[in-house]
Structure 1
Amino acid sequence: MRLALFQPDIPQNLGAAIRLTACLGVPLDVIEPCGFPLSEAAIRRTAMDYGGIAEVKRFPSWSVFQANPRGSGRLVLFTTRSAHSFHDFAFRPDDVLLFGRESAGAPDEVHAAADAQLCIPMAAGARSLNVVTAATLALGEALRQIKAFPAISRF
């Protein structure tokens, strides 16, 4: 299981995603360009004290990300354009959960490349969740289904 962010716009969301994936033991893929300057130093600063346990892989473009072998892993895109609820989907351990830009979602080429497109149901009138809030829900459900939450630790 991996979490992937497509061209994130907001550095604080990247920091929260790094912390989320570090705490859940899931690697994070960042597909650039980002809407802010991103360097290894910025990732370390954003990750705070989670940098030592976070596994962050940067891809300079969508095409480089696509060329990266995923084995049999599926690309599962979370999008408000889908009518298929994430809680009705059977996740697999090698899935890559992909989330689009905060400002614009994912472009058509990303939708076309996805093996599955899922949404998170929301109340009438609500447009979208914060990207890391959505990723938390999705990753939590996926890890629950495949029984891959980390063991409980007391530091």
Structure 2
Amino acid sequence: MNIVLLNPEIPYNTGNIGRTCVLTNTGLHLIKPLGFSLDEKAVKRSGLDYWKDVQLYIWEDFEHFLKENIENKNANLYFATTKTEKKYSDIKYEKNDYIMFGPESKGIPEEILNRYKENNITIPMLPLGRSINLSNSVAIILYEALRQNNFEY
């Protein structure tokens, strides 16, 4: 599996997600611009001593990421958003799929969501706030994808 963070803004979330990725043998793709430096103590502190083991890929922009990972590998890419009705649990995930999450303050841009509307997924929640924390959202969807694949890491 692969987790993709488009323009992540909060180093603690990225550190936590990195730790989850290490312990599930999941690739972590970061698409620039990042809202922090990967050398920041906050990233390393939340990733603890796992950060050195993250399968980390850095991409200059969304189009470069798409060309190298989705088009060349004919992989599935899903977009986590609050702007759809299709539940993350309604998808049949494959072992090499990619799940993208947008920046914490605004989510994945509308033009991307509209371009790939059939691959938009959401975590059902009460409309009492904007969304569940990014690192929690990653864990929820990633573990469903792993469960469907019998936790084959």
**What TM-score, normalized to structure 1?**
0.86
Cα displacement (A) at 1:61: 1.4
1:118 maps to 2:121 = yes
Of residues 127, 130, 134, the one that matches 1:131 is: 134
Q: Is the 8 A contact 1:7 1:35 kept in 2?
A: yes
Q: Structure 1 pair 113/147, CA: closer, same or farther in 2 (3 Å)?
A: farther
What residue in structure 2 maps to residue 15 of structure 1?
Answer: 15
- What is the RMSD of the two structures over their aligned residues, measured on CA atoms? 1.9
Which protein is richer in helix relative to its size?
A: 2
Cα displacement (A) at 1:48: 3.0
Which amino acid is the alignment partner of residue 99 of structure 1?
F
What residue in structure 2 maps to residue 62 of structure 1?
Answer: 62
What residue in structure 2 maps to residue 107 of structure 1?
Answer: 109
Which amino acid is the alignment partner of residue 119 of structure 2?
A
What residue in structure 2 maps to residue 45 of structure 1?
Answer: 44
Distance 2:135 2:112 in 1: 19
Q: Is the 8 A contact 1:21 1:54 kept in 2?
A: yes
What residue in structure 2 maps to residue 31 of structure 1?
Answer: 31
Q: Which aligned runs of 4 or more in structure 1 are off by greater than 6 angstroms?
A: none
Identity of aligned residues (%): 27
Distance 1:132 1:145 in 2: 20
Gaps spanning 5+ residues in structure 2: where?
none
Cα displacement (A) at 1:53: 2.4
**What TM-score, normalized to structure 2?**
0.87
Q: What per-residue deviation string (whole Å, max 9, x for no partner) do you get for residues 57-98 of structure 1? A: 111211221221331211100100010011111111121010
How many residues matched? Answer: 148
Gaps spanning 5+ residues in structure 1: where?
151-155
1:79 maps to 2:78 = no
